[in-house]
Amino acid sequence: MTQRVLILGASGKVGRHSARAFAAAGWDVRRFDRARDDLIQAARGCDVIVHGMNPPDYHDWQGIMPAITRAVIEAARAAGACVILPGNVYHYGDQGGVWSQDTPPNPVSRKGAIRLRMERDLAASGVQTIVLRAGNFIDPEGRDCVMARLYLRALGRGRITLPGPIDTRQAMCFLPDWARAAVALAERRHSLARFEDVPFPGHTLSARDIRDGLERLMQRRLSVTPFPWWLFTLTAPVWELAREMREMRYLWHTDHALCGARLAALLPGFEVTPLDRVLRQMLPA
C-alpha cells in the first residue's frame, strides 16, 4: 500500500528536497498550499507530515511559530500522522562541543527559546514526532542558504566570507542528504518512540575547510574577507533581517559539531554526500 506524506512549506528549500526524496522512494506526495488549503483537510489520509513551514528571514517568529505548531499538532492528531521536524541547533546556546540528543538545552537567543518551546509542545502533544536535527543547511539549488548567503557571497570576486573566526567549526547539512534520512526514518517510524531527537551530523566545517576545498576544486587561490556585521549593527533598528541575524552571531564563534551516534544506530550504513561533491554543486555555473 502506497504511503502518503504531506509537505508543509513545499516551495521552500526543505520542502522541495523532501518532496523529491519521498517521491523517489515511492511515496504519494501531497504539497500544502497555505493560500488555498485547510491544513486538517490536507492532512487527512496522510501517514507523515514534514513540517518545513517557516517564516522567511526569521520574520515574527515569536508570533507566528507557536500558531503554526498548534495547527500542525491539531492536523497530525486528526490524521494520526507522524510529524518530521527539521530541527536546528539554536537551543544548545553558546557552549561549544559535540552536541547530542542528551545535551541539556541552554538557549541564549529568543529564537533558541522559541524553537525549544516548539519541540516541547510537540513532545507533550502525544503526536509522534521525529526531530531530525541539523546545522546550517546547504542547498545546491538556491542561494537562500547560509553557505551561499554568507560564506560564498563574494566567491565571484575570489573571496570566502568569514562570519566568525576562520577555524571555528560549524555543523552543516547538505539538504538532499537530510531529505534521504527523513524518508528512511519515516519508513521505520513504527519502531520508533513517540518523540525522537535525532542529530544529523552532516559535515563539520570551518571557513578554512570550505576555502581549502574550493581552492582544490577551482584550482586557484581564494582570499578571505570578514562578513560586514558592522552594517547589520547599523541597520538593525530598521531592518528586521539584520536584527534577527545579528542575534545569531554567537553561533559563528561557538565551535561545535553534532553527534552521529543516534542516526547511525537507527540508519546503519547511511552515508552523506562527499564534501567535494557538495562544494562542487555550490559553485556558480
Position 241 scores a pLDDT of: 78
- Percent of the chain as helix, strand, coil, to the nearest 5: 45, 20, 35
Per-residue pLDDT of 168-198, as tens digits, reads 999 999 999 999 999 999 999 999 999 999 9
Q: Number of structural domains, the chain?
A: 1
Position 88 scores a pLDDT of: 96
The set of residues, in sequence order, having a beta carbon less than 8 Å from that of 189 and lying 6+ positions away, is 48, 82, 128, 130
Q: How confident is the model at residue 60 (pLDDT cuts 50, 70, 90)?
A: confident
pLDDT of 1 over the 80 cut: no
Position 244 scores a pLDDT of: 83
**DSSP state at residue 47:** S
Range of the domain at 109: 4-282
More confident residue, 90 or 233: 90
CATH number, domain at 58?
Answer: 3.40.50.720
Neighbour-count burial of 117, counting CB atoms closer than 10 A to its CB (0-12 exposed, 13-18 middle, 19+ buried): middle
Q: Are 222 and 215 in contact (CB under 8 A)?
A: yes
pTM (2 decimals)? 0.95
